[in-house]
């Protein structure tokens, strides 16, 4: 990209132009040469003051419908909203194959709603490597609230906990096996539990079960957790959910938990990028070895690290 084009792009970001935001995210996602300049240009205060909300949970819980209702409520308050919809990866192209932008067409003409679908690109944690950068670009372009809606593959979605300031786990009646599978994962770390489709049979039982989980967590960690009910298809309970989110966010900022989470998130993102940069070099060294594929893979990995002058003994 020529210098004049980069200047024009940065000017577009400063003016909160949706096309400039989309272009900037694409450059960073593709690891383009201008990525560093884009990220360094962002307003640090805007990024710091943005609230990042994670929406996760099993397939069929109604995450996209709930996200759409949250967007509508935030827009009615005059908030600019960014949405990062993490979708499964196409095995052929590597791109997102669901396209949450299709599911959120009602907001497509709103200049103050920025929707971006991003592929997981095979990451088991449910978030692609560039999601953190996309969050900062949207925040730097004036989005006061950014929603990350994950692909919905259950317990493997733990990555969202570290990137979002507040994480809401969305459940619905009839997903009993999926919810049981999450008890050792998301149920133990999510900030809010949301019972969606609360007008369906079995919702009250699910609510009582989640209340028991919340009380158990409070007893162990002395950290209360709210259980909210919504009927996203009708917009019911969304205002109450946002009130709980706001109260929790204020609490985290006052206690310093917000800054601690952001610092931990940054450290882990640096680690992710370091591993991503090292991966092709390590793979190349593995493939250069023409010997028989036999023996202890861990020992082979240690030998490769020694060749790269990494002291394995100090990091193992």
Its domain, for residue 242, covers 42-255
279 and 243 in a single domain? The answer is: no
Question: What is the maximal distance between C-alpha atoms in the chain?
Answer: 64
Convert the pLDDT of each residue in 72-127 to its tens digit. 999 999 999 999 987 665 444 444 444 444 556 677 778 999 998 886 655 544 46
Rounded distance between C-alpha atoms, residue 121 and residue 127, angstroms: 8
**Predicted local confidence at residue 296, as pLDDT:** 84
Q: What is the pLDDT of residues 305-315, one digit of tens each?
A: 888 877 655 55
The vertex-256 CA angle with 47 and 229, nearest 5°, equals 80
The answer to whether 132 touches 67, Cβ cutoff 8 Å, is no
Segment (H or E) for 166: strand 166-171
196, 231 contact by CB (below 8 A)? yes
Residue 36, domain member (yes or no): no
User: pLDDT per residue over 271-301, tens digit each?
Assistant: 877 887 888 888 888 888 766 777 788 888 8
Instruction: Read off the pLDDT of each residue in 243-269 and give the average, rounded to a whole number.
Output: 93
H-helix segments, the chain: 3-14, 18-29, 35-40, 44-49, 63-76, 100-103, 131-140, 159-163, 176-181, 186-189, 203-221, 238-255, 257-288, 297-307, 312-315
* pLDDT over threshold 60, residue 181: no
Q: Are residues 236 and 278 in the same domain?
A: no
Residue 51 and residue 154 in one domain: yes
182: pLDDT strictly greater than 90: no
What's the CA gap between 266 and 263, in Å, rounded? Answer: 5
Q: Note whether residue 11 is domain-resident.
A: no
**Percentage of residues of the chain with pLDDT beyond 90:** 47
CATH number of the domain that residue 115 is part of: 3.40.50.300
Q: Are residues 57 and 78 in the same domain?
A: yes
Count: domains in the chain: 2
Q: Compute the Cα dihedral for 16, 18, 23, 26 and give only its sign.
A: positive
Distance CA 26, CA 20 (A): 10
Higher pLDDT, 138 or 304: 138
Average pLDDT of the residues of the chain = 83
Tell me, yes or no, whether 242 and 277 share the same domain.
no
Same domain, 174 and 49: yes
Domain boundary pick from 236, 255, 274: 255
Angstrom CA distances, 93 to 88, 129, 153, 262, stand at: 11, 17, 21, 32
Confirm whether 223 is domain-assigned: yes
CA atoms of 24 and 133, how far apart (whole Å): 10
Q: Are residues 77 and 181 in the same domain?
A: yes
């Amino acid at each position: 990209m020529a210098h004049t084009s980069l200047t024009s792009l940065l000017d577009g970001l400063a003016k909160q132009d949706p096309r400039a935001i989309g272009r900037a995210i694409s450059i960073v996602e593709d690891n383009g040469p201008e990525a560093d300049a884009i990220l360094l240009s962002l307003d640090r205060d805007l990024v710091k003051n943005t609230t990042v909300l994670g929406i996760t949970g099993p397939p069929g819980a109604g995450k996209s419908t709930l996200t759409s209702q949250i967007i509508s409520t935030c827009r009615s308050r005059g908030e600019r909203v960014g949405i990062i919809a993490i979708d499964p990866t196409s095995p052929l192209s590597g791109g997102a194959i669901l396209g949450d932008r299709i599911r959120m067409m009602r907001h497509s003409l709103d200049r103050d709603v920025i929707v971006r679908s991003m592929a997981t690109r095979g990451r088991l944690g449910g978030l692609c490597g560039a999601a953190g950068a996309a969050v900062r670009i949207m925040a730097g372009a004036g989005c006061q609230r950014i929603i990350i809606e994950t692909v919905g593959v259950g317990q493997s979605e733990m990555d969202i906990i570290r990137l979002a300031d507040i994480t809401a786990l969305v459940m619905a009646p009839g997903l009993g096996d999926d919810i049981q599978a999450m008890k050792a994962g998301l149920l133990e770390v999510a900030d809010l539990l949301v019972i969606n489709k609360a007008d369906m049979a079995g919702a009250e039982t699910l609510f009582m079960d989640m209340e028991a989980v919340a009380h158990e967590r409070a007893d162990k960690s002395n950290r209360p957790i709210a259980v909210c009910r919504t009927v996203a298809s009708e917009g019911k309970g969304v205002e109450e959910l946002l009130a709980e989110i706001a109260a929790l966010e204020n609490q985290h900022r006052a206690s310093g938990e917000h800054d601690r989470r952001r610092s931990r998130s940054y450290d882990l993102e640096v680690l992710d990028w370091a591993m991503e940069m090292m991966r092709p070099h390590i793979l190349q060294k593995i493939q250069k070895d023409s010997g028989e594929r036999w023996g202890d893979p861990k020992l082979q990995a240690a030998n490769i690290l020694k060749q790269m002058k990494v002291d394995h003994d100090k990091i193992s």
